[in-house]
Amino acid sequence: MYIFQNALKNLVRNLGRNIMIGAIIFAIILTTVITLIINNTASAVIDDYKGRFGSEVYIRPNMEKVRDEAMKNSKDGRVMMRMPQISSELYLQFTNSEYLRESILTGSRGANNSDIHAIDQDDNSEANGNSGLSASSGGMMQAMRLDGGNFQLLGDSWQDFNDGLRSFESGTFPQNDNECVISTELRDANNIKIGDHLTFTAKVDIDTPIDLDTSGLSEGDTVEVNGTEYNVSISAMETVRLDRDVTYELEVVGVYDDLTDEYANENMTKAAFLNKRNEVLTTLPTLLAARKSDETGIRINATYYLKEPDMISDFEAQARAMGLPDTFDVETDAASYDNVVKPVLGLKNISITFMIAVMVMGAIILLLLCSISIRERKYEIGVLRAMGMKKFKVALGLWTEILTITCICLVIGLGLGVTAAQPVSDAILKSQVSAAQASAPQVPGGMMVAGKGGPMTSMGPGGFMSGGASQAQPLSEMKITLGLNTILELILISILLASFAGLVSISKITKYEPIRILMERN
């Protein structure tokens, strides 16, 4: 007990010296509190981002390889470049990869229904909907038509509901396959009720077999491929196309209100297949069930998210093994990922570097102060040793003094550190965000370009839709929190700091014998 009482009295007896030591310890602890809080919070934010968003994968055609492939297969000097396609089955296989955090698959296809009238449907269009455009629309709009049909059947396309742009007026989401929901406008125009059954027809295609003799085929002929009959159609380029009709029997189980615009812009030609009120929402398995595995005609929109951006090579190797053609490139949106995470990661690195620098400099200054302090207290130590006090107890007394000073600084440092951490974090993060935005590629005139690593939404059979440069915004704010792990780390660092200062003092005094100390004093 005497050791602890004497240590506390020594704090008051040597107030000026202890204040200097306490100031250095306080500076170290305050810096450590701020940096550890920022570092741990930044780590949590980065981990949370990885867990919630992952890193998006883009599968898109390599035009150079497509061109080379077309040149290789050219006949009579004619080069025919065709957009490469990925089968629906392959898109579904990719979802089984262990490198993916999440997969989002939606599907769409054009269809017709002879029993109901689509919004903005041309009354002069053919019954099967293969024209579906007014004569004034022109050939360009006819070419823009996706795959025929006044209606668009969408599979598992519920994002507008999540965004609050659509909501149910009555009914609910499809609970089973072969169920659908329609817009209130389509319901009112055709007096459709929940529970009614709608029959839609559509076409699916199959690649013309290489061994099929097409020389004698004419428009309207039928041929059998793999036990299924297909209709023959011949394009203006004399390309033979094989297709057949499929039927969708859908039960109406819900009606939705739509806050989105009917058309993407006001200058768009009014056509039924472009009007969003003609979208019939069902499940993706419903769309896929109508066709065979080697048939196309259903557009699959696949979005994949990697667990970590650096898994892209492993995922690509796995996708190639599953059958992904070499004409496709597999890339990840590393630019968006870095754009969001890099400022916080920079903040974390700056805080750690600053903490290490302060701790090293502070430890050196503390070492010098403790050495000077012990030189001044050598006589006091010699008297205690001459009275019979063991080295261990002398060392314990010195360590108790330093530990007491450290505990006082820790309490004050925690309070001030928590208060200062938020503005310090905001200031550093702001500079990191500015640096990240300054280093991002700028495109004149606000145009968007699809570059390497930039978004491009991959579409299944039916083509690809190019996107623009990454629009992901950096994390511009970070809510600072003091967690239990941070408090435990601070306590451990404080104890190590006090022990370091105490050991330096003890090592200098305990190597001398009491009589020598007293003689040096005289």
Residue-wise pLDDT for 394-445, tens only, equals 778 878 888 888 888 888 888 888 787 778 777 766 765 565 555 544 433 3
Give the pLDDT score at 50.
65
Please compute the mean of the pLDDT values over residues 467-472 and round it to a whole number: 40
Most confident residue range from 68-77, 337-346, 418-427:
418-427
Q: Considering the chain, what percentage of its residues have pLDDT values greater than 70?
A: 75
Which has the higher per-residue pLDDT, 258 or 42? 258
Give the pLDDT score at 254.
95
CA distances for 385 relative to 2, 8, 395, 504, 507, angstroms: 14, 19, 11, 18, 15
Which has the higher per-residue pLDDT, 303 or 80? 303
- Say if residue 301's pLDDT is above 60: yes
Task: Give me 464's structure tokens.
Answer: 């690809």
Give the pLDDT score at 145.
41
DSSP state of 208: P
Please compute the mean of the pLDDT values over residues 91-101 and round it to a whole number: 90
Which has the higher per-residue pLDDT, 192 or 359? 192
Please compute the mean of the pLDDT values over residues 5-30 and round it to a whole number: 80
d(CA 160, CA 157): 8
- Say if residue 449's pLDDT is above 50: no
Give the pLDDT score at 208.
80
Confidence of residue 509 (pLDDT cuts 50, 70, 90): low
Least confident of 36-50, 218-232, 308-322: 36-50
Most confident residue range from 22-26, 83-87, 186-190, 516-520:
186-190
Task: Give me 152's structure tokens.
Answer: 């668009």
Which has the higher per-residue pLDDT, 43 or 199? 199
Which has the higher per-residue pLDDT, 140 or 375? 375
Alpha helices in 377-467 (DSSP H): 378-386, 391-439
Half-sphere exposure of 218 (CA within 13 A, CB side): 0
Q: Which residues pair with 110 in a beta bridge?
A: 152
Decide: helix, strand or coil at residue 153. strand
Asked if 121 and 127 count as a contact pair (C-beta separation under 8 A), the reply is no
Least confident of 170-179, 214-223, 322-331: 214-223
d(CA 78, CA 70): 9
Q: Considering the chain, what percentage of its residues have pLDDT values greater than 90?
A: 19
Confidence of residue 144 (pLDDT cuts 50, 70, 90): very low
d(CA 450, CA 460): 19
Please compute the mean of the pLDDT values over residues 9-33 and round it to a whole number: 81
Which has the higher per-residue pLDDT, 163 or 469? 163
Confidence of residue 117 (pLDDT cuts 50, 70, 90): very high
Confidence of residue 236 (pLDDT cuts 50, 70, 90): low
pTM strictly above 0.75: no
Task: Give me 240's structure tokens.
Answer: 């033979």
Give the pLDDT score at 435.
56
Confidence of residue 131 (pLDDT cuts 50, 70, 90): very low
Residue 220, phi-psi category: left (phi > 0), alpha (psi -120 to 50), beta (remainder): left
Where in the chain are the domains?
2-52+339-440+452-521, 101-306
Please compute the mean of the pLDDT values over residues 497-520 and round it to a whole number: 66
Which has the higher per-residue pLDDT, 263 or 8? 263
- Say if residue 476's pLDDT is above 60: no
Give the closest residue to 409 by CA, choosing from 481, 493, 483: 493
- Say if residue 462's pLDDT is above 70: no
Asked if 394 and 505 count as a contact pair (C-beta separation under 8 A), the reply is no
